Amino acid sequence: MADKARSIIVEREFPHPPERIWRALTQSHLLEEWMMKNDFEPQPGRNFTFGAEWGKVKGRVLTAEPYTTLSYSWGDHDLDTVVTWTLTPMQSGTRLRMEQTGFREGQPRYYHGAKAGWPRLLAALEGVLERMD
């Protein structure tokens, strides 16, 4: 039986313009406040590392279309996924969609960890957005 890839999707509406959310998704010091320590820069082809007490995640920026779409690879020695952020302007702010694709069937620890983790990270993002200038 072939491995079937699995995805996680989390969507939230924020009362902030896409430009503000883009800053929180792409500026290293803001990313550190809600996600992890990093050396991220939103330049396609650029490699980066996210680090936390539990370990490191390596990635490469795939797409960076300001205020609309950001995608990057996300993985380690066993995990090879892609995270895509889509920002959709709304009259009341922005709808933010995060999709992480590529979890294989034999990776329940990664899949369930991400499924539990992304909603918490988006809640932390909301706090950062409230405090930003």
Which domains does the chain possess? 6-131 (3.30.530.20)
User: Is residue 21 over pLDDT 70?
Assistant: yes
With cut-offs at 50, 70 and 90, classify the pLDDT of residue 4: low
Token output for 19:
């430009």
Contacts of 51 (CB under 8 A, 6+ apart): 36, 37, 38, 57
Residue-wise pLDDT for 36-80, tens only, equals 999 999 999 999 999 988 789 999 999 999 999 999 999 988 899
pTM of the model: 0.93
Query: Cα(18)–Cα(94) distance, rounded to whole angstroms?
Result: 6
Query: Cα(37)–Cα(15) distance, rounded to whole angstroms?
Result: 26
